[in-house]
Amino acid sequence: MGADHIPYVCIATAVNMAGGQPISLGNLRAVRELCQRHGIRVIHDATRVAENAYFIKEREPGCADMSVAEIVRAICDLTDGCTMSAKKDALVNIGGFLALNEDDVFDACRSLVVVYEACTPTAAWPVATWRRRHRSARERSVRHIKARVVR
């Protein structure tokens, strides 16, 4: 028990498991401070981060003039790494990624990919998927996000 036994706290932006509730930058900052006090990483499930960023832009005081990309950056600056299922907000047909600030932890995780996923999958993705991933990140417009979240 205790902080030494907690490798990370997971923050899922606009977690859909609990009804799609977004987190504010203010609340994320508070989580970050609490975790930092106890030496615990904050790892971000960024699967639906664009939608969460849109909500922050629309609702959080002081964020209206920030772009969605700037808000995503601010979220990432408050976390130690992220997982991303790219089929959702990144609008690609397959794949995802793990990104970590700590090289040694990243290397340890990469070894586990061999155990759980058979190979480091990035090399196996079709070229078209890579192209779509890069393009979708640029083309994802606020209009598209709004169409998804305003129902």
Instruction: Give the pairing of strands 8-12 and 81-85.
Output: unpaired
Among 8, 58, 85, 97, indicate the residue that binds ligand PLP (CB under 6 A).
Answer: 85
Residue 45 or 80: which CB sits closer to ligand PLP? Answer: 45
CA dist., res. 52 & res. 72, Å (int): 9
Least distance in angstroms from the C-beta of 143 to ligand PLP: 21
CA dist., res. 88 & res. 12, Å (int): 13
Residue 98 found at the interface with ligand PLP (CB under 6 A): no
Residue 18 or 123: which CB sits closer to ligand PLP? Answer: 18
Residue 37 or 151: which CB sits closer to ligand PLP? Answer: 151
Residue 16 found at the interface with ligand PLP (CB under 6 A): yes
Residue 48 found at the interface with ligand PLP (CB under 6 A): yes
CB pairs under 8 A, 24+ apart, for 128-136? 129/92, 129/93, 129/94, 129/95, 132/91, 132/92, 132/93, 133/86, 133/90, 133/92, 133/95, 136/90, 136/91, 136/92
- Candidates 8-16, 23-31, 61-69, 111-119; binding stretch for ligand PLP (CB under 6 A): 8-16
**Contact (Cβ atoms closer than 8 angstroms) between residue 106 and residue 85:** no
CA dist., res. 42 & res. 143, Å (int): 30
Residue 51 found at the interface with ligand PLP (CB under 6 A): no
Tell me the sheet residues that pair with 85. 96
Residue 16 or 93: which CB sits closer to ligand PLP? Answer: 16
Residue 64 or 147: which CB sits closer to ligand PLP? Answer: 147
Residues in contact with ligand PLP by CB under 6 A are 12, 15-16, 45, 47-48, 85, 87-88, 96
